[in-house]
Amino acid sequence: MWTLETVQKVAAVDPAVWRAILRLMVLARKVDEQIIKLCHQGRIHGSSFTGIGQEAISTAAAIASQPQDLFGPCIRNLALHLGRGETPLGIMRQVLARSEGATGGRDGNIHHGRLENGVYAMISHLGAMISVVAGGVMAKRRQGIQSVGVAFVGDGTTSTGDFHEALNFAAVFDIPILVIIENNHYAYSTPTTGQYRCRRLIDRAVGYGIDGISADGNNAAEMYVTVSEIMEDIRVNPRPVLLEAETMRMRGHGEHDNFKYVPEELLLLYRRRDPINLSVRAMASAKLMNAEEFAALETEIEAEVAAAARQALSEQEPAADTLLRGVYADA
Ligand SMILES: Cc1ncc(C[n+]2csc(CCOP(=O)(O)OP(=O)(O)O)c2C)c(N)n1
Ligand SMILES: [Mg+2]
């Protein structure tokens, strides 16, 4: 439930920021949809993992950030990669394992990042990225750089030992890191009722002696206001904060998963709460964008993404004799 204060803050979001938020969410959605298409056409090696329905969360963090900030993405943070400077073409090259992709054709659509964008390439071990980001921020601070870190985790990830160790470490050393739990109701096929017994995951924050805040992960304006306030606060008053963003995973764990275990009513509920549609409606009622302008934005982005896919498809996979590059130190 929004307080009057939240309503006022959301109403005060700059129209240019609103447009940037919407554009990034639509871009991420269209790139994800393109990935799904390529995956089902058999053009992607392995499975594909998307963030459809969760775009508002990564978008808020990317738009609220400063260049010196550091990020630990997980598997549903395409909007973060794009918001921090990765291009649709870069993503298409990555998922299609082309030589020019971020990992040079070494991985599929999740284990990638670009240090020049402040985005670490994730590793699969759930919870491990929190300490990586905490360490990176610690190093930057020792160099006198006012960096803030953001690590993204899922509800299932909160059950790992790494999650606990990293939060405790960050609390003890006052590391300015925002840990965002994207609570999307499922960890693979395990619903949150089979995952934890606390009422809200941020109830655990008190055990670490840190602040825990919750936000509606499908409400882009609320996410943006919440995340930017936390990031600016911990930038000058360094400490970790736990933020639980309630959302819904709108597809299977990956494209190999038909997610028949998710009740249809739950999906229906969140289809009505789609973050892009909610933003379009909010912007229309604030007279910031009308239906024709939104349709034009969608068409423009669809064309950009389709061109990126065509370009990447026309390129080569890495040559076989480069296979061991990056595995051993060059002699
Ligand atoms: C330590 C660890 N345990 C198990 C796995 C296998 N695994 C990969 S993703 C996943 C589910 C993650 O769920 P959640 O944290 O809720 O994120 P979501 O997929 O919902 O975004 C599991 C169990 C893993 N990668 N690492
Ligand atoms: Mg989950």
CATH number reported for the structural domain that contains residue 53 in this entry: 3.40.50.970
Evaluate whether residue 312 is within a structural domain.
yes
> Which residue is listed with tokens 């349709």?
295
- Measured from the CA of 188, which atom of ligand 1 is nearest? 11
Evaluate whether residue 326 is within a structural domain.
no
CA gap 134, 115 in Å, rounded: 15
Structure tokens, 254: 């990956």
- Measured from the CA of 162, which atom of ligand 1 is nearest? 1
Q: How high is the pLDDT of residue 11?
A: 80
Per-residue b or e along 146-174, where b marks 16 or more CB atoms closer than 10 Å to that residue's CB: ebbbbbbbbbbbbbbebbbebbebbbeee
For 245, counting Cβ atoms within 10 Å of its Cβ (0-12 exposed, 13-18 middle, 19+ buried), the class is buried
Q: How high is the pLDDT of residue 56?
A: 98
Ligand 1 site, residue 189, Cβ cutoff 6 A: no
Ligand 1 site, residue 156, Cβ cutoff 6 A: yes
Contact 108, 121 (CB under 8 A): no
CA gap 165, 167 in Å, rounded: 6
Ligand 1 site, residue 270, Cβ cutoff 6 A: no
Evaluate whether residue 331 is within a structural domain.
no
Ligand 1 site, residue 49, Cβ cutoff 6 A: no
Evaluate whether residue 327 is within a structural domain.
no
Q: How high is the pLDDT of residue 117?
A: 98
Cβ count within 10 A of residue 44: 19
Cβ count within 10 A of residue 310: 11
Which residue, judged by its Cα, is nearest atom 12 of ligand 1? Answer: 187
Distance from Cα 109 to the centre of ligand 2, integer Å: 18
Q: How high is the pLDDT of residue 107?
A: 85
- Helix orientation angle between 275-285 and 55-64, rounded to the nearest 10 degrees: 60
For residue 92, give the nearest of 318, 315, 312 by alpha carbon.
312
Q: How high is the pLDDT of residue 1?
A: 58
Q: How high is the pLDDT of residue 3?
A: 74
Evaluate whether residue 217 is within a structural domain.
yes
Q: How high is the pLDDT of residue 327?
A: 82
Q: Which residues is 179 bridged to in the sheet? A: 151, 242
For residue 279, give the nearest of 4, 5, 29 by alpha carbon.
29
Evaluate whether residue 176 is within a structural domain.
yes
Evaluate whether residue 328 is within a structural domain.
no
- Measured from the CA of 76, which atom of ligand 1 is nearest? 21
Q: How high is the pLDDT of residue 331?
A: 60
Count of structural domains, the chain:
1
Q: How high is the pLDDT of residue 325?
A: 84
Helix (H) or strand (E) holding 5: helix 4-11
**Could you tell me the residue range of the domain that residue 129 belongs to?**
4-317
Characterize the bridge pairing of strands 190-191 and 186-187.
Answer: antiparallel
How far is it between the farthest Cα atoms of the chain? Answer: 64
Cβ count within 10 A of residue 215: 23
Q: How high is the pLDDT of residue 25?
A: 98
Q: Which ligand is nearest to the CA of 51?
A: 1
pTM over 0.85: yes
Distance from Cα 212 to the centre of ligand 2, integer Å: 18
Evaluate whether residue 30 is within a structural domain.
yes
- Name the amino acid, one letter, at 32: D
Characterize the bridge pairing of strands 177-183 and 149-154.
Answer: parallel
Q: Is 152 left (phi over 0), alpha (psi -120 to 50) or beta?
A: beta
Q: What is the pLDDT along the chain (331 residues), one digit of tens a residue?
A: 567 777 777 788 899 999 999 999 999 999 999 999 999 999 999 899 999 999 999 999 999 999 999 999 999 999 999 999 999 999 999 999 999 999 998 887 889 999 999 999 999 999 999 999 999 999 999 999 999 999 999 999 999 999 999 999 999 999 999 999 999 999 999 999 999 999 999 999 999 999 999 999 999 999 999 999 999 999 999 999 999 999 999 999 999 999 999 999 999 999 999 999 999 999 998 899 999 999 999 999 999 999 999 999 999 999 999 888 888 887 6
| Residue 177 φ then ψ, to 5° | -135, 130
